[in-house]
A and B are shown apart, each in its own frame.
Chain A
Amino acid sequence: MLRFLKVRGDSLAPEYSHGDFVLVSKIPFWLAPPTPGDVIAFRQPGYGLFIKRIQNLSPDGGVNVIGDHPESIDSRVFGTVRRKDILGKVVWHIRKA
C-alpha cells in the first residue's frame, strides 16, 4: 500500500536526483485514475523497477511514460506500461540532503 524506494539514475533530473527517496502508493489511484504528469513507480517486465512520468494514457488502458532526460529509457524504448505493473504514484519525495 505504501512503500519507500530509492531513486537510482538521473532520467527525472533535476526534479528527482540519484539518491533521493520516494514514497509510492496505489491509494491515489483508488480515488482518481492515472493522469499525464503523475510520477509513478512500475515494474516493466524484462527491464525492472522504474520511476517515470506519465506522458499520456494508452487506448488499451495502460500508460505511456517518459523521463525528463533526452536519453531516458522509457515508453519510447519499452512501450506501454500495463496498469497491473504500476506500483503506485509518488506521494512523498524526500530529496537528498
Chain B
Amino acid sequence: MIYQILNKIDQQLHIENVEAHCDIPCGIYDPIVAQISALTVVRMLDLMTEFEAKTPDRNKDYMNSMSRYIAVKEEHAERAKAEIRVIWGDYLKAQHLEKYPNAHALVHKIMQLGSKVRQTTDRDQATQLVDAINEFAQMFWETKGITTKRAKAPYAPALELVYPAL
C-alpha cells in the first residue's frame, strides 16, 4: 500500500534515484575465452608444424596458408591477454588479492607468455600459457566459491582445461 503510494508520487514527481549498482556488465566475467584462445595458439602451432612437414614447396600457396596460421595465432594470443587483463583489472578486488597474493605475479606471467607465443613458434611456451591461464581460472572460480574440475578439451589439441563444476 505504502509502496504503491510512493510509486504514484515517483511517477508524478520523480523521487531521486540512489545507486546500489555494480560494474557493467554486472558480474559477467569468465576466463573460458582466454583458455580457449590459449588452446587455439597451441592448435595453430601444431597445424604449422604439420603443414611445414607435408609441404616441400615454399611457394606463394605455402606462404599464404602459413601466414593465415600465424595471423590466427597472433590474434588469439592477444585475445587471451586482453581477457585476463579485464578480469584482473575489473573483477579482482582488494579482498581477492589479500587471499591470492600471487595474483599479480600470475597475471604478469600470462602477459609475458602471451607475448612470447607471438614472437616464437615454441610449443612449450604455448602449453605454459594454457597452464598459467588454467591456474588463473581456478583462482577466479574459487573467489566465487565455485569448485572446479579438470578435463581434456573435447577438440584438438586435447589439453587439460579448468572448468567450473556446476
Q: Do A and B bind? A: yes
Which A residues are within 8 Å of any B CB, using their own CB?
Answer: 3-13, 16, 18, 21-22, 41, 47-52, 67, 69-73, 76, 94-97
Q: List 24 A-B contacts (CB under 8 A).
A: A3-B16, A5-B15, A6-B10, A8-B17, A9-B19, A9-B21, A10-B21, A10-B26, A12-B20, A18-B20, A21-B6, A49-B18, A49-B19, A50-B18, A50-B20, A51-B20, A70-B144, A71-B27, A72-B22, A76-B93, A76-B94, A76-B95, A94-B3, A94-B6
Nearest Cβ on chain A to B110's Cβ, whole angstroms:
22
Given the known A-B contacts A21-B6, A76-B94, A97-B4, are A5 and B20 also in contact in the complex, defined by CB atoms under 8 Å? no
Q: Number of contacting residues on B, CB 8 A?
A: 23
A94 CA / B42 CA spacing, docked (Å): 56
Contact A11 B21 (CB under 8 A): yes
A66 CA / B100 CA spacing, docked (Å): 20
Contact A5 B18 (CB under 8 A): yes
Nearest Cβ on chain A to B23's Cβ, whole angstroms:
5
**Could you say which of A47, A49, A73, A94 contacts B17, with CB atoms under 8 Å apart?**
A49
